[in-house]
Amino acid sequence: MLLQAEIVAAILGIIIAVIALAILASSIRVVPEFRRLVVFRLGRLVGIRGPGLVFLIPVIDQAYVVDLREQVIDVTKQTCITKDNAPVDIDLLIYLKVVDPEKVITQVQDFRQAAVGIATTTLRAVVGDIELDEVLAKREYINSVLRAKLDEVTARWGVKVTAVEIREIIPPSTVQSAMVKQIAAERERRAMITQADGEKQAAILKAEGQKQAAILQAEGERQAAILRAEGQAKALELVNEAASKLGHNALLLQYLEALKNIAASPSTKIVVPMELLSFLQAFLKEGEKR
C-alpha cells in the first residue's frame, strides 16, 4: 500500500510539474519586431506589449497577436451594374496596414472581412454612377475613389489603406465581341489613312521633282540663249572690227567678186537695183577722194 501511495504521489507530482511548466511557458512570449501583443487583464485592456520578451500573468492575462506588416486582400470577382445597365465583373486587390493595434482588437471584430465588405459595396456604388465605356477607361479614377472611401472608414479601426488596385474588368461577351470588331475597324481605318498619306506624300514629291526639273531645264535654256547671244555679239564685233580695217576699195572688190561668182552659173540672173548703182557711185567717189 505504501508503494502504491508513493507511485500515485510521484505521478501527481509529475502532472503538477508539467502543468506548472505549461502555465509558465504560456506566460512567457517572444514577440518579433513585426508583431504586437494587445494584453487584457481580467477583461480590461492593459496595453500593448512587444517586441521582445513579454511576461504575462497566467490565467489572469489574455493576449491577442496583431501583425503590423502590410497585408493584401484578394477580393473575388464582383458583378456590378453600370449606369447604362451593363453588367461587368471586377476583381481587385486591397493593400492595408495596421497602425493602431488597440483599435484593431477593440473596435472591429475582423477588420479584413469588414474591409472586403466596404470595398464591394463602394465598388458597386462607384460603378453604378459610370457608363460602361468610362468604367473601362477610368480604372485609376475608380482605384482612387475606392481607396479614399476605404481609408475613411478603416481609420476608426486603426487600419490604413495604402492602395486599391483593380486587377481585371470583364465586360459582357456581346460587348467584348463588339470591342473586337471596333478595334479591327479602327486598325483598318488607320491603315487606310496611312496609305492615303503615303500616296499624298509621293504625289507631292513627284510634283516637286517635276517642278525642279522644269526649273533646271528653263535655267539651262536661258543660259544657252545667253551664251548664243554673247557668241553672236562677239562674232559681230569681230566682223565689224575686220571691216573697219579694210578699205572701201577692198570691200568693193570683195562685193564684185561675190557678184562674179554668183553670175558664173548659166541659170543665174542678177537684177541690180538703181539704189545699188547710186551706192556704188557714191562709194567710188569716196574712194577717189582718199
CATH number for the domain spanning 159: value is 3.30.479.30
Instruction: Give the domain extent around 136.
Output: 70-171
Window from 46-60, 123-137, 214-228 with minimum mean pLDDT = 214-228
Q: Is 95 found in the same domain as 52?
A: no
Q: Between 205 and 241, name the one with better pLDDT.
A: 205
For residue 177, what pLDDT is reported?
64
For residue 248, what pLDDT is reported?
55
Q: State the average pLDDT over residues 62-77.
A: 92
Last residue within a domain, chosen from 133, 149, 171: 171
Last residue within a domain, chosen from 149, 171, 193: 171
Q: Is the pLDDT of residue 223 over 90?
A: no
N residues, the chain: 290
In eight-state DSSP terms, residue 63 is E
Angle at 95 between CA 32 and CA 138, to 5 degrees: 170
In a domain, 91, yes or no: yes
For residues 284 and 267, give the distance between their C-alpha atoms in angstroms, rounded to a whole number: 30
Residue that the C-alpha cell 481605318 belongs to: 189
For residue 159, what pLDDT is reported?
94
Q: Is 97 found in the same domain as 135?
A: yes
The whole-model pTM stands at 0.57
Q: Is 98 found in the same domain as 44?
A: no
For residue 205, what pLDDT is reported?
84
Q: Which of 34, 10, 120 is nearest to 74 (CA)?
A: 120
For residues 30 and 153, give the distance between their C-alpha atoms in angstroms, rounded to a whole number: 33
In a domain, 200, yes or no: no
Q: Are 254 and 243 in contact (CB under 8 A)?
A: no
Report the number of distinct structural domains present in the chain. Answer: 2
Confidence of residue 172 (pLDDT cuts 50, 70, 90): confident
Q: Which of 157, 118, 163 is nearest to 140 (CA)?
A: 163
Window from 7-11, 50-54, 252-256 with minimum mean pLDDT = 252-256
